[in-house]
Amino acid sequence: MLWPRPVGAVELCSLTLPLSLLSLPRAQTYVCSPGLLIKALAAVHEELLAHLVALKASVRQAGKQLVTGAEANAQMKADIDSVHLRLQNVLYEKLHLLKETAACNQFRAKTDDMALISAAELSPELQTDDPHQQMLNRIEAERRERERLVDQLEELSQRQSAMKALNKQKASKLKQLPRAINRLAEVASDVSNVFSRHQDNALPAGSNDPRAAALPLPLFVFYETTTAFIQLETEPSGLHVSIEGEASAVPNFDEAVAGLISVKTSVQSGHQRDDEEDNSSDSPAAVQANTPHPLTLKLSVKTAKVQVAWTLRWYPVVDMVTVEQDPAPGLLEDALSHLYVNDTGTEIVNTRIALQEAVARSATVDDLLSERQRAYRWLQICSGLVEGSASRAKRLRAANQVLMDILQRVEDRRALQYYCASLDVGRLPSLPNAKQHFPLKRTSTLKSCERLNSDGATVNGQALAAKYKLTITNSGMPFEVQVAIPASYPVLLPHFRLSLTQAARDMMNVHESNLAAIAMEVNEHIPELLKIDRAPAHTVLAYQLRRLLMCVDLLVEVEDRRSDRGNFKGQLFATSTISVDGVLPFKWNPDLGEEGLFEHR
């Protein structure tokens, strides 16, 4: 602890001795009795002791005050040092901020390099005296202008894309134009040769008949086409066409027909009028409906062995052409569209509707030309130019076969369009008697169907009409199937290819041979089922899709079940279960029931 410094004798006397003692003169001497002196000294001694106690208390108090003052001085010094340090920091920060502000003022703002609208061009309502607000107004005006330009750019980009697509279409048409022009030139050259060849010579009988212009359109086309065919023949075939009837009766007949539009509609739809007058077969409407055109065509073929003749009449109200004497199919597409096939004595099909559909569904001009070539083929058969067509019955059968080929092509094209439309919406195409051929309840489902780009794609060297990616699920297992439909369907069968993820293979222990065997079953052996069912060839795709689902059902069922069949896990469609006769998959046999789901071929 700190002790107070010692106090001098003089200071101590000045602090504690009474004034009465200090004021006594030092040189003076007093004479007194000893007892009185002792008493006086005792009193002085007591007073000195009291002053000494007071002195010690004062010393202690002074020491405490000294310690307290020292601590206060130290605290004040520390506070002064702290304030001084903070002042130094503030001065340093001030200097740093001044330097940073100066450096920032030297930076270029984005607005310095931006082509903003000038203050003079700014609208009056945006003018202000505040430079900062003035700059904000200019920036906002620039933002609105750029948004307008961006919208304009998007609109122009869309127009550019549309123009590119249009230019692409026109370019493709231009590429096809030389071919079409060459074909037109060839046809025009043939026609020109025909007319120039017979310009100065006598035309065949009936080719210059003035009544041709009065013929109804179907017979006129038939007449002109047959006449041109006769003129183009390099060797005489005995084919002859002529017109019979009075042309003067045609105007009156046309006027009568013009007033019977309602009768034509009722006859075509197969319904009769409600009033009794029109129900009578003797009514003018009924008589007119059953009256042929005044002009008829006579077509005959005369060879060394046989002579055949046809009479073609046109009933405008019924809108058909009848064939008399020797029924046969039509000759050309235009005439055939107004002709009923009646080779066996009973009406088979309205070929007018069938041929209209054939023309509407023809994808290219080549298809139309192919149909016309088939019609010319029939003309050649009738005129006896083809070897082996000498007898009339054989000619009629050959002509009917040509017609049936045309109708079959129309049916095949219609079926393919229906199948593709069904797959486009993710639905299986319908199949007649599907439950009879596939009676078990189907557990596999067609989850999705995606049409892939088939432009330029081929399968086995053949162009494709369509290509699909199917996803079939069964018990949570996804099977991916790619289906490639050739353009020559159903001459060439669609090709199926199955795939399964590695995780699904490991879970089900499905080997590649299983999927390959299912693909072979669907790709190669469906025609056998068509022969058994006597089904049309164009239904092969519907059979393939259902056969595929059935195979997937059975594969998943055998994978999940261990019964009397033994351990067939993952081996039902594998090659190891097939006999040594060949790698043949299994064939559906409904007579064996569920336990014999497949039998070996």
In this structure, how many other beta carbons lie within 10 angstroms of the beta carbon of residue 115? 6
Cα 455 to chain center, whole Å? 15
Asked if residue 347 lies in contact with residue 372, where contact means CB atoms within 8 angstroms, the answer is no
Read off the pLDDT of residues 64-86 as tens digits, 9 standing for 90 and up: 999 999 999 999 999 999 999 99
Q: Are 73 and 14 in contact (CB under 8 A)?
A: no
Q: Give me the pLDDT at residue 412, please.
A: 73
In angstroms, the CA 83 to CA 78 distance is 9
Distance separating alpha carbons of residues 495 and 489, to the nearest angstrom: 11
The confidence band for 363, taking pLDDT boundaries of 50, 70 and 90, is very low
Angle at 515 between CA 511 and CA 519, to 5 degrees: 160
Residue pLDDT, tens place only, 239-287 = 778 888 888 888 888 877 776 644 444 444 444 333 333 344 444 444 4
> In this prediction, what percent of the chain has a pLDDT beyond 90?
14
| Cα 240 from chain centroid (whole Å) | 57
**pLDDT: which is higher, 500 or 59:** 59
CA distance 244 to 188: 30
pLDDT confidence of residue 384:
46
Report pLDDT digits (tens) over 310-319. 666 766 654 4
Per DSSP, 477 falls in state E
CB 481 within 8 A of CB 496: yes
User: Exposed, middle or buried, 210 (CB in 10 Å: 0-12/13-18/19+)?
Assistant: exposed
Q: How many CA atoms does the CB half-sphere of 537 hold within 13 Å?
A: 14
Stretch 186-190: mean pLDDT, rounded? Answer: 66
Residue 586's pLDDT is what? 45
Q: What is the pLDDT of residue 405?
A: 62
Domain locations along the chain:
9-102, 206-245+295-421, 432-600
User: Residue 225 is encoded by which pair of tokens?
Assistant: 């086409």
User: What are the residue ranges of helices labelled H in 525-592?
Assistant: 526-533, 540-560
> What's the token pair of residue 248?
């003067």
The answer on pLDDT for 501 being more than 80 is no
486 forms beta bridges with 464
Categorize the per-residue pLDDT at 371 as very low, low, confident or very high, splitting at 50, 70 and 90: very low
Q: Which tens digit of pLDDT belongs to each residue from 446-478?
A: 888 888 887 777 777 778 888 899 988 887 788
Q: What pTM was estimated for this model as a whole?
A: 0.37
d(CA 544, CA 535): 13
Count of CB atoms within 10 A of residue 47's CB? 15
Residue with more model confidence, 451 or 343: 451
Select 432-600's CATH number: 1.10.10, 3.10.110, 2.40.50, 3.40.50.
3.10.110
For the chain, the residue count is 601
Token pair for residue 330? 């039509």
Phi, psi of 598 (to 5 degrees): -130, 150
Q: From CA 598, how far away is CA 601, in angstroms rounded?
A: 9
Q: What is the pLDDT of residues 540-575, one digit of tens each?
A: 888 888 888 888 887 777 666 544 333 333 333 333
Q: What is the pLDDT of residues 132-153, one digit of tens each?
A: 888 888 888 888 888 999 999 9
State yes or no: pLDDT of 434 exceeds 50: yes
User: Among 4-18, 183-197, 470-484, 539-553, which stretch is predicted with the lowest mean pLDDT?
Assistant: 4-18
Half-sphere exposure of 439 (CA within 13 A, CB side): 9
Relative to beta strand 477-486, strand 495-500 is antiparallel
**Rounded average pLDDT over 399-413:** 60
Beta-bridge partners for 112: none
Q: How confident is the model at residue 60 (pLDDT cuts 50, 70, 90)?
A: very high
Name the pLDDT band for 302 (thresholds 50, 70, 90). Answer: low
**What does the alpha-carbon distance between residue 218 and residue 365 come to, in Å, rounded to a whole number?**
22
pLDDT for residue 394 is more than 80: no
592 vs 188, more confident? 188
Determine the 3-state secondary structure of 241 from DSSP: strand
Q: For residue 227, is pLDDT > 70?
A: yes
Q: Which own/partner pairs from 54-61 qualify as long-range (CB within 8 Å, at least 24 positions apart)?
A: 54/16, 55/7, 55/12, 55/15, 55/16, 58/15, 59/4, 59/7
Which tokens is 429 given? 């195409």
pLDDT tens profile 152-174: 999 999 999 999 999 998 888 88
| Nearest residue to 524 via CA among 430, 426, 601 | 601
Highest mean pLDDT among 28-32, 247-251, 525-529, 555-559: 247-251
Confidence category of residue 513, pLDDT binned at 50, 70, 90: low
Half-sphere exposure of 236 (CA within 13 A, CB side): 6
Q: Residue 395: is its pLDDT beyond 80?
A: no
Average pLDDT score over the chain: 68
pLDDT at 151: 92
Q: Is the pLDDT of residue 393 over 60?
A: no
Task: Examine the pLDDT at 219 and tell me if it is beyond 60.
Answer: yes
515/519 Cα distance (integer angstroms): 6
Cα–Cα distance for residue pair 372/561, rounded to 1 Å: 59
Residue 298 pairs with which residues in a beta bridge?
242, 311
* pLDDT higher than threshold 60 for residue 116: yes
Q: Which residues pair with 297 in a beta bridge?
A: 243, 312
Contact in structure between 519 and 493 (CB atoms under 8 Å):
no
Give the confidence band of 98 by pLDDT, cuts at 50, 70, 90: very high
Whole-number pLDDT of residue 180: 79
pLDDT score at 10 = 41
